[in-house]
Amino acid sequence: MIGTAGTTEGGSTGGGTSADDRDPDNGVSSADTTPERTGDDSSSERADAETPRRPSNDDLYELLSDRRRRYALHYLLQRADADGGEAEPVPVGELAEQVAAWENGKTVEEITSQERKRVYIALYQSHLPRLDDEGLVEYDDDAGTVRVTESLTGVDLYLEVVPSESVPWSTYYAGLTLANGLVLLLAFLEVAPFDQVPGLGWAAVVLVSFGVSAFVQLSLSSQTQLGDEGPPPGGTNEPESDDTD
């Protein structure tokens, strides 16, 4: 008669290791081959948990393409900067009031209850949960508060706002480079009247043209940074989108 399943080859019972549990090649128990957790693994997991989540550039571009999310982040960054860089929780109602004011080109005191309510519903139903999922804000639904995370306060976000009658800076610099290159080529070929200016003169023209352009861009860039003083980049009173995503 065959003994119980707990009986080992030696006839003992209980916690021993059966022959079926051993590796037929080296006689090592399968339990002995289980990898042990090391201190390095634990440290790595803790480091991953402490690393702030940050969306990819494509995801960030998609998030900021929505006006209400852009306005909300602008105000939250302003509040974090006013608090000395420490992002304190902001009531969702306060955030909705400011976003509604920017949307309608009014002051907070001038907005109607309907304008505030429309923005408030869109924020708490859609935009804030989405921003929280992406790691840009910490949204406390129960407390009704929200604040930006370290992944957002640690970076500077600039938006290039290009009016319909203007061109992007990248296109402008490409055109400026081509124009200066053409002038220098004509001067090198001694084509009149470009041959009347010495080489150092044309070098100064190129230097000044790029220098003035850079200073103008630097001045305008302060108006396109999220979290800067004043209204959000692009101005206010923009047409309202039909969706609330």
**Segment 234-240 long-range contacts (CB within 8 Å, at least 24 positions apart):** 234/70, 234/159, 234/161, 235/161, 236/101, 236/102, 236/103, 236/104, 236/105, 237/102, 237/103, 237/104, 237/105, 238/67, 238/103, 240/67, 240/103
pLDDT at 57: 75
pLDDT at 9: 43
Query: Average pLDDT of the chain?
Result: 75
Reading the block at residue 166, the tokens are 């203007």
pLDDT at 190: 86
pLDDT digits (tens, 9 = 90+) for 130-179: 999 998 999 999 999 999 988 776 566 666 555 555 678 889 899 999 99
- Is residue 87 scored above 90 in pLDDT? no
* Mean pLDDT of all residues in 100-117: 95
pLDDT at 85: 59
For the chain, which residues make up each domain, given as ranges? 57-153, 169-218
Could you say which architecture CATH assigns to the domain 57-153? Orthogonal Bundle (1.10)
pTM of the model: 0.57
- Is residue 215 scored above 80 in pLDDT? yes
- Is residue 197 scored above 60 in pLDDT? yes
* Mean pLDDT of all residues in 192-209: 88
